[in-house]
Structure 1
Amino acid sequence: MSDAAAANDHGFNPRLIVGVVAIGVIAFIALWALIALGPQLSSGNDGGGHALSKAAPGYAGIVDLAERAGAEVELRRRVETTRYEEYEPLLVLTPTHRTRAPEIAELLDAGRRGPALIVLPKWQTMAVPGQTQKPGWVSVGFPARPPVAMLPPAHFGKVAIEAAPSKAQQVPARLAGHSFTAWLPGNVQTISGDNLETLIAGPGGGAVLAQVGDRDLYILADPDLINNLAFASRDGAVGGAMLIDAVADYADADGLAFDVTLNGFGGQRSLLRFAFVPPFIGITLCLLAAGLLALWQAWMRFGPALKPGRAIPVSKAALIANSADLIRQARRELDGADAYVKSQRTAIARRLHAPAGLDDAETAVWIDKHLRGGGDLFSSLARRLPLARNTHEFVADAQALHDIRKDLLRDS
């Protein structure tokens, strides 16, 4: 059987595991990046009432028409706090029925009281599966008056929003020297208030387009004058374009800036988003590179992982070595000379069956008789070893006794 077959039979394929881990890491990073940057990367064509929507309540039509006409148009996905004296666009806010007053106040205050147009919401819409003709369109919608509480009193004062039952009609209007026709829809929505000046009046009272005091702050009560629904006819599209142009000219604005943060498409402030945008994207990339290097180092280590050994090995040799080490550390090597001589003498006498009744000196002499000539006698070594003056003499005499035992007993 080949090595590859053996690896497949007895373990995982390393390449497969590396691929799975790599795909998992990339998918994890991509998921968090999409969560952080999703609102900014979204096309916004969700059927809502904002500048990115191509549905009936959206304003993608007026945005496209203004761009084709050569106007300066921008879509703001964040709260812009910088104001340029040479460029001051008309900020168009398209809140929803769920927008709160502090959110509108933040945008107005951030612009340092630059020109702004508030387009009030009117329609509650939904897409019914199987009945929506195109993606991003809506199939069901009904008018619903927005809550008055969405307009901050500090900016607009006390206002009232009404929906007057009426038929669709044309209303002549003149604003900033522009004469045009405003195409009012049926069930037109109007606004009234003590601090509001009517620019385009509604059929049943109230204002369709109003200015807040003497400020460059305007309210379009009915969005059907400029939304995509108005672009269903040529005349409605012309009327909507003329209205936006007249308001921008009346406010002396240099362009149009459609805000989409109120509709959920802004770059919210969060630590997660900061990790994927400058300047913190550099830190994120460094941390990612450090993690990859740590993974590579763990994968490319030399040899198998080292296993910790026992503090005290289990064997006779380890026991002897530990005992010898303790004696050496205590510097008591020379104190064991008598015991070593006795152990060697006893072992040789027992193995060679020495006669009984012999004392230590007689046993040493008896051992000498079994030695070959030309070497040290056992008895002389036994007397000299306890008198050793240093470890070198002790080791030499002890080795000689060990050699005598090995020659006589034929062991190690």
Structure 2
Amino acid sequence: MSVQANPFQRTTIIIMFAVSFAAFIALLYGLGMGDRLASGKNGDAHGASNSIVGYRALASLLEKTGVPVQYSRSPAGMDNEGLMILTPGPFVPPEDIDAVIQQRSYIGPTMVILPKWQVARSDRLKKGWVVRNDPWDGTVGEALLQDVAKVSISVDGKAGSGQSLVSAVGAGVKTPEHPISIKGELLRTVVRGPLPGSALVAYLDDGGVYAQLDRLDESHITEKEEIDASLFPVVIVGDADLLNNAGMADKPTARHALALVKAVSIAADGGVTFDLTFNGLGGAENLLTLAFTPPFLSATICLITAALAAAWMAFNRFGPPVREQRSLDFGKTALVNNSAAFINRMQRGYLVTDPYAGMIRAQAAEAVGISPQADDKEILERLDELGESEGNRFSALFHQLVRARKPQDIAEGAAALHAWKKEIIGCRSTN
């Protein structure tokens, strides 16, 4: 019965590694993105929602007409050029909305669509669908805009839906069901409301020059020092039915929505960005988030590629793995080798020159019958009388080794002395 050296097939190992590595990268991506991976199909009124109060139809319509559309899930998206559409929920802090408007004053136009309908969810409906209930009270929109401008908002439950309303950006638009009108000292009409002096859509008279919006209600700012041509418009949509999915089901309303978006963003570069942070779909920035967003994404891809390359090289290494040797071997030879290595590492080779030279001298003297009682000088003289090896007498080689200090000189001196003994003493023993 044969036993395999490796219990796993090579292909199995590669598949296990690939799946584990992909799962690890996916885990890091999920931790980094956080709530950014949350689906927009939650029934709320925002750009990614397909419910009756959402604005996914408007986004799709803009894309089909060649307008670039993107969704922002982080505060950094507020710096995007082009039109920024804010769809705040009824409980968003008003100071947050005002901060965004102030931040974008010289970046790009901003459109704020106020919430209109209360909704209820049901398990009997498709995912992302909701049941539309009564409209929100006007105080909800007034609270959202309290830091932006002083406005009054009213819900007209008696106005007949379907009648045409005058607009500054194109043909008339139909009156929505339960129209929501807005009024304010700093508001200028874009879409006239059914009530006298009211508007369904208006822009802030903040000193900017917005000729494409002021056909119905011109700016009241006439002083030259108060006019700032660099400002971008801030448009407030009081009635969301002019732009939401329910409104986009009507062709004239959809055409008016496109005309409104075009008019608001006429002086801006870039497309349209729907903000999702005010609808609870944003995510906080962290190091993992940055790793998967440009420009750091390229570095992350390079690191992943390098890791895969290193793993592939590990699977395709040359030859079997080398077995690690023992640091200390068994036996006398191993003991000598380890001692020699230790002496060499400590650079103390010169300490063994004298004992080694003395050992060779004693062995040679014993081999030729010199009395152990003879002194060192006599022994060297008698060994010199035996002959030379490559032109060197024993005493010369002996003193050369004793005086050696460098590792190479020590090795050469010991080898020469050993060679003299082998040649001279060996020859005499043979004879």
8 Å contact from structure 1 (residues 119, 221) kept in 2: yes
Tell me the TM-score normalised to structure 1 length: 0.63
8 Å contact from structure 2 (residues 114, 237) kept in 1: yes
Unaligned runs of 5+ in 2: 209-232, 344-348, 384-394, 399-416
1:93 aligns with 2:92: no
**1:49 alignment partner, SS class:** coil
Q: What is aligned with 2:358?
A: 335
Q: Which amino acid aligns with 1:330?
A: V
1:21 positional shift: 0.8
1:261 to 251, 272, 275: 275
Superposition pairs for residues 117-136 of structure 1, below 5 Å?
Answer: 117-125=111-119, 127-129=121-123, 131-132=124-125, 134-136=126-128
Q: What is aligned with 1:208?
A: 200
Partners of 1:149 and 1:398 lie apart in 2 by 114
- Higher gyration radius (CA): 1
Map Cα deviations across residues 382-409 of structure 1 (whole Å, 9 max, x no partner): 68995352334874499769x89xxxxx
Q: Which amino acid aligns with 2:274?
A: V
2:237 to 220, 226, 235: 220
1:227 positional shift: 1.6
CA 1:143–1:398 in structure 2 vs 1: closer, same or farther (change >3 Å)? farther
8 Å contact from structure 1 (residues 189, 208) kept in 2: yes
1:112 aligns with 2:106: yes
1:195 to 186, 193, 196: 186
8 Å contact from structure 1 (residues 128, 140) kept in 2: no
Partners of 1:305 and 1:98 lie apart in 2 by 68
Partners of 2:357 and 2:236 lie apart in 1 by 108
8 Å contact from structure 2 (residues 167, 173) kept in 1: no
8 Å contact from structure 1 (residues 121, 223) kept in 2: yes
**1:137 alignment partner, SS class:** coil
Q: What is aligned with 2:13?
A: 17
CA 1:57–1:274 in structure 2 vs 1: closer, same or farther (change >3 Å)? same
Partners of 2:337 and 2:272 lie apart in 1 by 86
8 Å contact from structure 1 (residues 124, 142) kept in 2: yes
CA 1:282–1:212 in structure 2 vs 1: closer, same or farther (change >3 Å)? closer
Partners of 1:147 and 1:341 lie apart in 2 by 114
1:379 aligns with 2:384: no
CA 1:33–1:165 in structure 2 vs 1: closer, same or farther (change >3 Å)? same
Superposition pairs for residues 196-345 of structure 1, below 5 Å?
Answer: 196-197=187-188, 199-201=191-193, 207-213=199-205, 215=208, 216-231=233-248, 237-238=250-251, 240-241=253-254, 243-244=256-257, 247=260, 253=266, 258-262=272-276, 263=279, 271-276=287-292, 278-299=294-315, 300=317, 302-307=319-324, 309-310=326-327, 312-320=328-336, 329-332=351-354, 333-336=356-359
Number of residue equivalences: 349
Q: Which amino acid aligns with 2:244?
A: N
Q: Which amino acid aligns with 1:47?
A: G
Map Cα deviations across residues 8-34 of structure 1 (whole Å, 9 max, x no partner): xx7333432221111111233344456
1:73 aligns with 2:38: no
Partners of 1:50 and 1:305 lie apart in 2 by 62
Partners of 2:129 and 2:109 lie apart in 1 by 31
1:135 positional shift: 3.6
8 Å contact from structure 1 (residues 127, 140) kept in 2: no
CA 1:73–1:96 in structure 2 vs 1: closer, same or farther (change >3 Å)? farther
CA 1:240–1:104 in structure 2 vs 1: closer, same or farther (change >3 Å)? farther
Q: Identity rate of aligned residues, in percent?
A: 27
Partners of 2:363 and 2:197 lie apart in 1 by 124
1:120 positional shift: 0.6
Q: Which amino acid aligns with 1:331?
A: T
**2:324 alignment partner, SS class:** coil
**2:236 alignment partner, SS class:** strand
Moved more, 313-322 or 391-400: 391-400
**1:175 alignment partner, SS class:** coil
